[in-house]
Amino acid sequence: MTADPAPRAAARLGLVTALLIVAADQASKLWLLYVYELGRRGVVTILPVLDLVLTWNYGISYGLFQQEGAGRWVLIGIAVVAVVLLGLWLRRAETRLTALALGLIIGGAVGNAIDRLAYGAVADFVLFHVTTESFRFSWYVFNLADAAIVAGVVGLLYESFFVTGAPKAP
C-alpha cells in the first residue's frame, strides 16, 4: 500500500516556503545591516507612511518580555520547540493553504531565531505610521520574518473559519 501523495506534496510546499522565507529574511537583514548600513543612517523615509529604522528586539512580538542574557536562550528554546511542533503539523498537512501557512510561520520563527543566535536580539527595521496635524499612529517595527508569521497565522485562521471541511490542527 502506498502513502497518499497529497500530504507529502503539501509538506514539500511548506518546507520550500520555510526555506525561502529564512533566506529572504536573512538576506534582507544582512543587506540592511552590512551593505546599506541602516544603523548608521537613522530613520530613512521610503514613503510618507513607511520608514526604515533599525531596532533590536530583545523580546517577543511588540517588544514584550524583553530578555537579555539567559532569557535569550529561553526564547531560542521556545522557538525550537515551536518549529518542531509546527513541523510535525506540516508533515500531516493535507491542504496547500495549511502547508503554505505553516511554512511561513516556521520560516519566520527560524529567521528570528537565527538573529537571536547571531546578535542576541532580533533585527527589526520596517515602520509603518500615519501622521496628521492631530493624530499619530505608529505600528511596531518589524521585519520580513514577522510579516511571514502574521501572514501564516492569517492563512490558518482563514482556512479554519472560512474553508468548508478544512482540517483542524493535530
Catalytic amino acids?
124, 146
With cell 530578555, the residue in question is: 67
Please report whether residue 51 resides in a domain: yes
| Cα–Cα distance for residue pair 75/61, rounded to 1 Å | 12
Please report whether residue 170 resides in a domain: no
| Cα–Cα distance for residue pair 61/72, rounded to 1 Å | 14
Per-residue model confidence (pLDDT) at position 8: 85
Please report whether residue 169 resides in a domain: no
What total of structural domains would you count in the chain?
1
10: amino acid identity, one letter:
A
Domain boundaries, position 36: 5-162
Please report whether residue 21 resides in a domain: yes
Dump strand ranges (E) for 103-157.
122-131, 136-138
> pLDDT tens, position by position, for the chain (170 residues)?
444 556 788 999 999 999 999 999 999 999 999 999 998 999 999 999 999 999 998 876 555 555 566 677 888 899 999 999 999 999 999 999 999 999 999 999 999 999 999 999 999 999 999 988 999 999 889 999 999 999 999 999 999 998 876 555 55
What does 75-111 look like in DSSP terms, one character per residue?
HHHHHHHHHHHHHHHHHH--SHHHHHHHHHHHHHHHH
CA torsion angle 103 104 108 109 (round to 10): -50
41: amino acid identity, one letter:
R
Q: Which three cell numbers stand for residue 121?
A: 536580539
